[in-house]
Amino acid sequence: MYPLERLQRYPKAPHLQAYNSADKLLIQRWQELGGSGETTWVVNDDFGAISLSTKAAQSSSDSWLAHRAMLNNGVNPAVLLNAERSPSGNCDIVLLKIPKQEAALKQQLQMLCAAVTAPATVLCAGMDKHLSPNTARWIEQVLGEVTRHPGKSKARVFEARLIPTGEKPDDGAIFTEVPGFNKPLLTLPGNFSSGALDGGTRLILAHLQRVPTVSSACDLACGNGVLGLALLLQGKAQSLCFADESSLAIYSAKRNVAAFFPDQSDMAHFHWGDGLLGLQHKYQLILCNPPFHQGHVMDAAVGKRLLRQCSSYLTANGELWVVANAHLPYAGVLKKHFAHVDVVARNKKYQLWRARSPRVKP
């Protein structure tokens, strides 16, 4: 097994280790089965523990942060795939970290059945605290019989067989009605708030008429692109950047922009990455409904990183509008990086801030 204690998280978090018991159980069961890296696929590796230990031929992850962590830890970039590409080639064993959403798990299993060319074993694992009592049933609904291995170190493995279908599965898209939109908005399994508008999005949409009209804006942590699309539909921005670390989110946003503006695709561009890092443009307006999880782990630092980035990517007169759960500690970081911060609206659960005059370090 690869020496897991060498692994580092991205973004760096020295107080958190870069692997868990579910990773170790997957690797141990793979070794018991006599797995070969040349015919092993990995899905949803977080930081490279599974991909490196098995020397997997292909490793698929939706997350740009996970890709960056795996590259930093030494995973061969040639084996990495994002959610827009399915694995291909010979496969005997798939090692899958179980995602948070039932729909995402089922979609990934269906994708794997379409991708394998011969029957293969799939090992699905997660930490007990992240698993649903229905996890085994969800796997059975797609694959049939499931072996539940005994839990160990607060984690467990489910084992089943992938039978090739040879057919591309339905993408599982869900369509949601949005106030002020003339058609439903597409969301893919695994997207944030899949199938419904979250309360934070509803709050910022209700006050969008107060946002300044600009030539360039960014929807940061865009999800399916609902906030950016609302700006475009209301004529609040002439061009829009949709930015997210989830490749599924970017793919959803691309499809929604194409559906709403089929002849004006040049008004939008898309950035799959670590927030705004790597962009060469400054914006007059940024809207953000920041995440406060990385994978299954709740961590307000995820959102704070994005808000700190915003001060460097706004014009001198630019504005950041951010909505979040009221209990999250974002007021301090906003006031540190912006000269003027005020609360535009609030309700029992969410708060909408406007931050102006970014303090940019020379």
Averaged pLDDT for residues 230-246: 97
Contact between residue 63 and residue 191 where contact means Cβ atoms under 8 Å apart: no
Model confidence at 281: pLDDT above 60: yes
Averaged pLDDT for residues 297-325: 89
- Residues 6 or more apart whose CB falls under 8 angstroms from that of 21 comprise 127, 152, 153, 154, 155
Model confidence at 293: pLDDT above 60: no
| Segment holding 247, helix H or strand E | helix 247-260
Count CB atoms within 10 A of the CB of residue 193.
Answer: 16
Averaged pLDDT for residues 86-110: 94
Q: Could you tell me the sign of the dihedral formed by the alpha carbons of 222, 176, 191, 64, in that order?
A: negative
- Write down the mean pLDDT value for the chain: 93
What is the set of domains in the chain, with CATH numbers? 4-162 (3.40.50.150), 174-358 (3.40.50.150)
pLDDT of residue 361: 64
% of residues, the chain, pLDDT over 70: 96
- In order of 7, 73, 75, 166, 274, the CA distances from 17 in angstroms are 8, 13, 18, 39, 20
Model confidence at 209: pLDDT above 80: yes
Q: Give the Cα separation of 49 and 44 in Å (integer).
A: 11
Least confident of 151-155, 197-201, 337-341: 197-201
pLDDT of residue 299: 58
Model confidence at 1: pLDDT above 80: no
